[in-house]
A and B are shown apart, each in its own frame.
Chain A
């Protein structure tokens, strides 16, 4: 295959990626867009088996190793993507992003090793960039994965002199990067990789749980840029186009997400440095709350005219989507007006809850977005909050300096009655106490969301 044909096919793949991103931006074309992207990526991968570079002969060297490695990747990636519960999807995306960053860093390291002293200064600079950002993306994504999987604390991790340590690490990373460019050598490059991995961890640790999606999106954009830089090193137009597209669209997406959550990007990334340590909720847990039985809840619902259901991550964890729908159908049959209030970041990521409810066949027209539903809470008799906490926490409006301050919330406190279905008094993902739980018009129903809802349904049927 000639270089021209190879480049033309690369261009076609690049166009496929543009169409993919375009398609993914609209609900009707999203699925097709994703398939176009997959087609482009497959095409680009197949073509490289027929043409690598003018010096290379066919078939590829190490072909067996290459095919074997792809088979291993398929054997890991496909089942992981197929089997993951929808509730755990965000951390899987984080993990996929991390391994992509790791791959880009490895590619740059290998190319550097094999070029040796033949590498031009420009190539070395791009290599250094790829290694730094790829490693940061890799280790940072692993930390976001651990946070989302709740294998580690979801609260911001702030250690003494954290700011100094992080700044020192960053300076060291840049310094060693300069050393690699000046001295050329394997050792400095490996030191650079190690320091960059460390910086990635330090960079993400202080980010609070609620802001993790924004960081994943940012690291995604980072990985895109590393792919573009390795495209320069490897002289591949396709990698430059694909990486730059992801870098640019990822940056915009990160900003849009931050806006949807009412956060400034700067505040998200550096807020933890300036935030004061929060008072622990220990003392306030002693305060009285009003907890009710499923019968109390059923009676309240039976005499309501309008009920708004606010689903959160707890609902998804309990797999209670279907029971919620049963309850909603029952209320509708009793002539009660029912709507779902969906916060943009309900669940763990923007749009996550829509995916989860769609899975349970909840009618799309009952789902209302935050801006539509908020003005109606004052005419709502009962708001049922199921496994949600941060997205209804009035602290976002009233407590400056708390980690979610400024995030738009669902104003359930304007409803005449609020029912919380919770497993325990444990605070939400952001780790902040919710004052609404202690409000006199709030009733709490403790227990697994699905079990509680099933009891409410049978109690309501009996009325």
Chain B
């Protein structure tokens, strides 16, 4: 992809990332961190792509490890965030 296009995407995403969380109350810091943590678990997509590319056993072994770790990150992250937020259900004024 064009370096300029990538740079533009990157810079715009930085601004969006700054903007969306700039006014969060301290009560939500933990769930928000946990949710953001789950989102970077999407590296699973990258792990699957490299597993597909793998030609040697070493590469395959490392990508399988990457898939396991990324799945734990992504799925575990969303589940634990949901459990945290469940506690707030119906309690907010």
| B interface footprint on A30-58 (CB within 8 Å = 1, 0 otherwise) | 11011101101100110011001100100
B36/A246 in contact, CB under 8 A:
yes
Contact B86 A31 (CB under 8 A): yes
Q: Tell me which residues across on chain B come within 8 A of A354, comparing CB atoms.
A: 27, 88
* Contact (Cβ within 8 A) B20 A114: no
Contact B55 A114 (CB under 8 A): yes
Contact of A260 among B26, B51, B58, B81 (CB under 8 A): B26
- In the complex, whether A170 has a CB less than 8 A from a CB of chain B is no
Q: Which residues of chain B from 34 to 62 have any CB-CB distance to chain A below 8 Å in the complex?
A: 34-56, 58-60, 62
Alpha-carbon distance A250/B39, docked complex (angstroms): 11
Chain B neighbourhood of A223, CB < 8 A: 37, 40
Asked whether A403 is an interface residue with its Cβ less than 8 Å from the other chain, the reply is: no
Decide if A41 touches B78 in the complex (CB within 8 Å).
Answer: yes
Contact residues of B with A, CB < 8 Å? 1, 3, 6, 9-10, 13-18, 20-56, 58-60, 62-89, 91-93
B92 contact from A28, A97, A102, A216, Cβ within 8 A: A28
> Within the complex, which residue of B30, B79, B89 is in contact with A81, where a contact is CB–CB below 8 Å?
B79
- Smallest beta-carbon distance A24→chain B, Å: 5
B6 partner residues in chain A, CB cutoff 8 A: 232, 240
Q: Across the interface, do A245 and B17 meet the contact criterion of CB distance under 8 Å? A: yes
- The answer to whether A38 and B78 touch (CB under 8 A), given A22-B20, A106-B47, A352-B30, is yes
Given A62-B60, A249-B17, A249-B20, the answer on whether A236 and B72 have CB atoms closer than 8 Å is no
Contact A227–B42 (Cβ < 8 Å): yes
Of the A-B pairs whose beta carbons lie under 8 Å apart in the complex, a sample of 6, sorted by A's number, is A28-B92, A34-B31, A45-B44, A106-B66, A110-B62, A231-B46
Report B-chain residues with C-beta under 8 Å of the C-beta of A236.
45-46, 49
Contact status B78-A256, CB under 8 Å: no
Which single member of A25, A70, A241 contacts B32 (CB below 8 Å)?
Answer: A25
Whether A21 contacts B71 in the complex (CB less than 8 A), given A61-B54, A237-B9, A240-B6, comes out as no
Which of B29, B53, B70 is in CB contact (< 8 Å) with A257? B29
* Among listed A150-158, A357-365, A424-432, A434-442, interface-contacting one: A357-365
A242 to B63, CA, bound (A): 20
B44: A residues at CB distance < 8 A = 41, 45, 70, 103
Distance between A374 CB and nearest chain B CB, rounded to angstroms: 15
Given contacts A238-B42, A252-B18, A364-B91, contact A52 B68 (CB under 8 A): no
CB distance from B79 to the nearest CB of A (A): 4
Whether A240 and B45, one on each chain, are in contact in the complex, defined by CB atoms closer than 8 angstroms, is: no
The docked-state distance in angstroms from the alpha carbon of A229 to that of B8 is: 14
**Chain A interface helix/strand/loop/mixed:** helix
The chain B residue with its CB closest to the CB of A260 is: B26
Please give 11 more A-B residue pairs, beta carbons under 8 A apart, in addition to A109-B62, A239-B46: A21-B35, A34-B85, A38-B78, A89-B80, A96-B34, A103-B43, A110-B63, A114-B54, A234-B46, A256-B29, A351-B30
Instruction: Write the nearest CB–CB distance from B42 to chain A, whole angstroms.
Output: 5
Q: In chain A, residues 80-124, which have Cβ atoms closer than 8 Å to a Cβ of chain B?
A: 80-82, 84, 86, 89-90, 92-93, 96-97, 99-100, 102-104, 106-107, 109-111, 113-114, 122
Contact of A89 among B41, B68, B84 (CB under 8 A): B84
Task: Assess A245 versus B16: contact at CB under 8 Å? Given A21-B21, A27-B27, A96-B76.
Answer: yes
Which of B21, B41, B63 lies at the interface centre, i.e. has the most chain A CB atoms within 10 A of its CB? Answer: B41
Q: How far is the CB of A108 from chain B (nearest CB, A)?
A: 9
Q: Which residues of B have CB within 8 Å of A230?
A: 43, 46
A13 at the interface (CB under 8 A from B): yes
B45 touches A350 (CB 8 A): no
Closest chain A residue, CB of each to CB of B89: A31
Point out the residues of chain A lying under 8 angstroms from B24, CB to CB: 24-26, 253, 256
Q: Chain A residues with Cβ under 8 A from B53's Cβ?
A: 56, 61, 110-111, 114
Are B71 and A69 in contact, with the CB atoms below 8 A? yes
Measured CA separation A49–B51 after assembly (Å)? 11
Set of chain A residues within 8 Å of B64, measured between Cβ atoms:
65-66, 68-69
Q: Which residues of B contact A96 (CB under 8 A)?
A: 34, 37-38, 41, 72-73, 76-77, 80
